[in-house]
Amino acid sequence: MAFVIVRNALVIAGVHVACFALPVGAGAQTVTFTDHIRPIMERSCWNCHGEAAQLSNLDLRTRESAMEGGTRGPAIVPGQAEDSRFYRAVAGLDDPLMPMGGNPLTETEIASVRAWINDGAHWDAAGVTTAADALSALESSELPPGARDYWAFRLPEQGPVPTSETYEHPVDRFLDSARRDAGISEAPRADRLTLLRRAYLDLTGLPPTLAQTDEFLADTERGAWERLIDRLLDSPQYGVRWGRHWLDVARYADSTGFEMDYRRANAWRYRDYVINAFNQDKPYNQFLREQIAGDELDHTTDETRIATGFLRAGPRVNYREKDTPDRRYDYLDDVLATLGRGVLGMTVHCARCHDHKFDPILQKDYYSLQASIFGYVEIDWPLLDRVELAEYRAANAKVDSLQQPLEEKVAAIEGPYRERLQLEMIRERFPENVLRAVMKPEEERTAGDRLLVTQVLSVNPPRDALRAALTSDDRDMVEALNAQIAALEAERPPEPAMAEIVTDGDYRFAPDGPGDNVIGCPECRILPEEPGTFLHEEGWPAYETPPNYLLISGDPQSPGSQMSPGFLTVATNGDPPTVIPRPDGRTSGRRLALAEWITSRDNPLTARVIVNRIWHHHLGRGIVRTLDNLGTMGDAPTHPELLDWLAVEFMDRGWSIKEMHRLLMTSEAYRMTASYDDDASSAVDPENQLLWRYRPQRLEAEVLRDSIMASSEALDLTLSGPPVFPFIPERILASQKNGVWDNQPDGPAVWRRSAYVYRRRALSYPFFETFDLPDQNQTAGARNVSSVATQALTLLNNESVLRQAELFAERLAALAPGDLARQVDLAYRIALTRSPRPEEAQVARALVTDQSLEALTHILFNLNEFRYMR
């Protein structure tokens, strides 16, 4: 190992109490794991409680797993053989006698086990557990025979498109063939207004305006539908809608989560990047390359670097990270889980601790992938060109260098005062035992005293007290120095625009972050043997990725062999490079190689996963229903040949997502009505798997909010920029101390599209949460759809909903003053893109007469019809 991990003793240490004598040893000879215990384990235990099987959920390969034990409880209690099931079972003290069905242990062996446990059950001299056989089995593990035959691992191919008497469109010909096989007949085409509304909600997340409706109705020429789709794809609101789908995949949020829930002040630049990418129809393979390796491309730009925000969009603690180095493995896992489920449709993260239980994903694949991203560090990147950046850094450094001697002078003056105040504070704040220990000369202190002395290290007098303590001369000098420091500070260049990006570096040399320098735990830190730097600079020798290891059972303290970068074995065809060296040597080229593998036509997964997602959003359910799992535990595709045909078509059409919209939306399948029932079809296919009618979709939280504001015409369609903070009642905010919510009154400033609302991990915007916002901490598949009372309460009683109802009513009154019939008609045409049927108009008019126009607009927001795309 190239570096030493000082283990957090809290987590692993057995009870080793210096003042508490434990019985040690079975005699003169010390029992060791390697010499005495491992041979017993290998012969008698690991067959059933090791790599091959963990009967009773018991795994005896590591100290940790033995201490954790199985269904019968912990197997080993270090220091206490009599209380350890492992000992009791092999010694015949408890039933059943172990090893079950094998030769019992000899008396000597039983005594060794006893002595070894009583001595603390140390696994190895190095403190690192490697059951050598288990490890080598893991490291040489191979794919099960036939693994590559599973449909998702075969490269997609376009088979012949089925013939159809009814349809020309290839998508319909595939669907028609499956329906004919099942004897099912399909719904007719929906009417033009239904289709118009469907297309608008689907592509832009907004209902059509009156003018947009008129425009479409006026176009009665052939090709009007295609022209509508083109118009919508040209609208920047398209990117706001479809970018949001991707932000679900990217588990995007504007805060870090966990206790501190810090604001990620520049995260929104990645959100804007995504929305722009959809609007530009950035080819999907390029989109992925930029997000995975935007800092490593042949031509990197600020845009491609911002794209790497994808990798770091997940939850992070960002507090006392240096004292908790193991968290890095969770962050790496977050990235791999996102790439796995989000991009590859594979639960790669399931192989973190063992070979995947259901899919042919090896644990070593996981750690090869981990090696591909292991150089990863998260940094703030100034959005300056090279010259500007150099100037900025130089100006900053100059201020620093001028301030430093002044600060030293201040410290020298304040030093004696500080010490005196510290002592006073200690007297005030600490109990007698601590004071006594502090006062004792060092050589007289007991071991306990020495610990007590450390308790006062973090006492720091407040600035005011320090200032008050200074003599007037010293105070004058300090103030003069501070004035000079402040004057210099004014010369510091303004902080440039920053982006939150990822690039290669050495995490072991990361600068201290929040919490690291306050109450540090230096013992917890990783101490590299070699000196190094966090970031690699231009012109240095080529960057080298820090080593990573296969971790036995996923435990950072149980490293196996060092890993080389690599990919999913089962989904790798040919011999793609795992490193693409960069001419500037600034990064490793590993992530670039990973991105190239993912976006290669030889990758069987990537194109299938994205076309399935696109299909899901257009047609209500994926061809594979589990969008993020194409593995054996996911759902089988309802139309496998169609999925493959689409995947190839997608790649052939330049990985263009807009082309896929055009392709799918021009099918008859997309244009079927949802208002259709047929007893025979219902009986054969009650879940509509074969798509014999359109599947209505509940509006997502964002679309619902935006549609409400679009109806009232209050919605501000401005694109991009820092997030907004719609009003949240103070009583909700007040209960949450940490985290940012720059609360704004309900008004035009926050009536922006929902994609621009601040996403706070520890406190979701209540409206979104109520309407099934997915968890923002994991890559999301299909959103949940629920129908609960809190949704009804929100739409009935929430003041901002009622405010929009009021604005909508004002709008109607202005459009048709004094004309109730016309107001009702307009209300329907604006909110639901159709005129009311006579019986509906009757109810609506009665409500307005009884109450108000606002009562009607309020109820429209609550209608089932309003809440669906159908």
Partner 1 sequence: MSKHDHNHHCRTRTFWSRRDFLFQSGGGIAGIALADLLNRQGLLAAAQSDTCEAPIPGNPFAPQPSHFEPRAKAVISLFMAGGVSHVDSFDYKPALQDYAGQPLAESVVVRQGHPGPLMPSPFEFQRHGESGMYVSEIFPHMAKKVDEVAFIKSLYGRSNDHVQATYEMQTGQIRMGFPSVGSWVTYGLGSESSSLPAYVVMADPRGTPKGGPPIWSAGFMPAMYQGTLFRSAGDPIVDLQPPVGMTEVQQRGRLDALASLNQMDIAQNPGNSELAALISSYELAYRMQGCAPEAIDISAESEATKKLYGLDDPLTEPFGRQCLMARRLVERGVRFVQLFSGGQGADWDAHSNLDENHRVRAAEMDLPVAGLLTDLKSRGMLDSTLVTWHGEFGRMPISQRGVGRDHNPGAMTGWMAGAGVQGGQEIGASDDFGYKAVEQRISPHDLHATMLHLLGMDHTQLTYRYNGRDMRLTDVHGTLIPQIVA
Restricted to residues 728-747, the positions that interact with partner 1 (CB under 8 A) are 729, 731-732, 734-739
Among 91, 306, 348, 434, contact with partner 1 (rule: CB under 8 A): 434
Among 451, 465, 487, 636, contact with partner 1 (rule: CB under 8 A): 451
| C-alpha span between 386 and 584 (Å, rounded) | 14
Among 34, 185, 460, 790, contact with partner 1 (rule: CB under 8 A): 790
Q: Write the single-letter amino acid at 23.
A: P
Q: How far is CA 801 from CA 618, 855, 857, 863, in A?
A: 28, 12, 10, 13
Residues 452-481 that bind partner 1 (CB under 8 A): 452, 454-458
Residues 835-854 that bind partner 1 (CB under 8 A): 837, 839-840, 843-844, 846-847, 850-851
Would you say 436 or 822 has its CB closer to partner 1?
436
To partner 1, the closest distance from the beta carbon of 350 in angstroms equals: 7
To partner 1, the closest distance from the beta carbon of 459 in angstroms equals: 9
Residues 81-140 that bind partner 1 (CB under 8 A): 83
- Before 99, cis peptide (omega within 30)? yes
To partner 1, the closest distance from the beta carbon of 358 in angstroms equals: 8
Would you say 201 or 674 has its CB closer to partner 1?
674
Q: How far is CA 65 from CA 36, 61, 354, 519, 836, in A?
A: 19, 7, 14, 32, 67
To partner 1, the closest distance from the beta carbon of 313 in angstroms equals: 13
Residues 747-766 that bind partner 1 (CB under 8 A): 761-764, 766
| Cβ(372)–Cβ(332) below 8 Å | no
Would you say 22 or 488 has its CB closer to partner 1?
22
Q: Write the single-letter amino acid at 381.
A: W
To partner 1, the closest distance from the beta carbon of 857 in angstroms equals: 11
To partner 1, the closest distance from the beta carbon of 204 in angstroms equals: 24
To partner 1, the closest distance from the beta carbon of 267 in angstroms equals: 17
Applying CB under 8 A, the span of 165-173, 219-227, 447-455, 460-468 interacting with partner 1 comes to 447-455
| Cβ(261)–Cβ(255) below 8 Å | yes
Would you say 265 or 782 has its CB closer to partner 1?
782
| C-alpha span between 174 and 638 (Å, rounded) | 11
Would you say 163 or 797 has its CB closer to partner 1?
797
Among 257, 342, 559, 565, contact with partner 1 (rule: CB under 8 A): 257
For position 350 contacting partner 1 by CB under 8 A, the verdict is yes
Please report the DSSP string for 391-405 in residue order. Answer: HHHHHHHHHHHHHHH
| C-alpha span between 451 and 300 (Å, rounded) | 53
| Cβ(40)–Cβ(105) below 8 Å | yes
Q: Which two tokens stand for residue 703?
A: 């679309």
| C-alpha span between 240 and 700 (Å, rounded) | 13
Q: How crowded is residue 192: how many other Cβ atoms within 10 Å of its Cβ?
A: 17
Comparing C-alpha atoms, which of 239, 247, 234, 307 is closest to residue 276?
Answer: 239
Applying CB under 8 A, the span of 411-419, 477-485, 535-543, 855-863 interacting with partner 1 comes to 855-863
To partner 1, the closest distance from the beta carbon of 855 in angstroms equals: 5
Beta-ladder partners of 376: 504
Among 341, 590, 608, 671, contact with partner 1 (rule: CB under 8 A): 341
To partner 1, the closest distance from the beta carbon of 697 in angstroms equals: 10
| Cβ(846)–Cβ(839) below 8 Å | no
For position 4 contacting partner 1 by CB under 8 A, the verdict is no
Would you say 325 or 566 has its CB closer to partner 1?
325
Among 330, 424, 555, 584, contact with partner 1 (rule: CB under 8 A): 330
Among 324, 422, 569, 743, contact with partner 1 (rule: CB under 8 A): 324
Applying CB under 8 A, the span of 65-73, 299-307, 612-620, 810-818 interacting with partner 1 comes to 65-73
For position 387 contacting partner 1 by CB under 8 A, the verdict is no
Would you say 218 or 734 has its CB closer to partner 1?
734
Residues 810-839 that bind partner 1 (CB under 8 A): 837, 839
Helices within 219-256 (DSSP H only): 224-234, 236-249
| C-alpha span between 832 and 864 (Å, rounded) | 11
Q: Which two tokens stand for residue 666?
A: 């021009």
For position 312 contacting partner 1 by CB under 8 A, the verdict is no
For position 487 contacting partner 1 by CB under 8 A, the verdict is no
Comparing C-alpha atoms, which of 610, 757, 664, 765 is closest to residue 282?
Answer: 610
To partner 1, the closest distance from the beta carbon of 680 in angstroms equals: 13
Would you say 431 or 441 has its CB closer to partner 1?
431
To partner 1, the closest distance from the beta carbon of 600 in angstroms equals: 25
| Cβ(868)–Cβ(700) below 8 Å | no
Question: In the chain, what's the furthest Cα-to-Cα distance?
Answer: 105
Binding-site size, partner 1 (CB under 8 A): 132
| C-alpha span between 289 and 285 (Å, rounded) | 6
Would you say 188 or 729 has its CB closer to partner 1?
729
Q: Which two tokens stand for residue 416?
A: 């004696």
Q: With b meaning 16 or more CB within 10 Å and e meaning fewer, what string describes 317-330?
A: bbbbbbbbbebbbe
Would you say 8 or 141 has its CB closer to partner 1?
8
Q: How far is CA 436 from CA 431, 455, 841, in A?
A: 9, 12, 87
What are the φ and ψ backbone dihedral angles of 37, each rounded to 5 degrees? -90, -45
To partner 1, the closest distance from the beta carbon of 73 in angstroms equals: 6
Would you say 562 or 851 has its CB closer to partner 1?
851
Would you say 2 or 13 has its CB closer to partner 1?
13
Query: Integer distance in angstroms from the first to the last C-alpha of the chain?
Result: 60
To partner 1, the closest distance from the beta carbon of 315 in angstroms equals: 5
Q: Write the single-letter amino acid at 295.
A: D
Residue 289, Cβ density class (10 Å: 0-12 exposed, 13-18 middle, ≥19 buried): buried
| C-alpha span between 646 and 664 (Å, rounded) | 10
For position 427 contacting partner 1 by CB under 8 A, the verdict is no
Applying CB under 8 A, the span of 224-232, 409-417, 601-609, 788-796 interacting with partner 1 comes to 788-796
Residues 577-636 that bind partner 1 (CB under 8 A): 626, 628-629, 631, 633-635
Would you say 403 or 800 has its CB closer to partner 1?
800
Comparing C-alpha atoms, which of 38, 24, 31 is closest to residue 119?
Answer: 24
To partner 1, the closest distance from the beta carbon of 813 in angstroms equals: 18
SS (H, E, C) 700-736: CHHHHHHHHHHHHCCCECCCCCCCECCCCCHHHHHCC
Residues 516-575 that bind partner 1 (CB under 8 A): 519-524
Among 412, 447, 490, 814, contact with partner 1 (rule: CB under 8 A): 447
| C-alpha span between 144 and 165 (Å, rounded) | 44
Would you say 16 or 393 has its CB closer to partner 1?
16
To partner 1, the closest distance from the beta carbon of 260 in angstroms equals: 9
Would you say 350 or 664 has its CB closer to partner 1?
350
Residues 664-703 that bind partner 1 (CB under 8 A): 674-677, 682, 688, 693, 696, 698
Beta-ladder partners of 70: 73
Q: Which two tokens stand for residue 150?
A: 């599973």
Residues 16-55 that bind partner 1 (CB under 8 A): 16-20
To partner 1, the closest distance from the beta carbon of 721 in angstroms equals: 27
Q: Which two tokens stand for residue 317?
A: 């603690």
| C-alpha span between 653 and 840 (Å, rounded) | 46
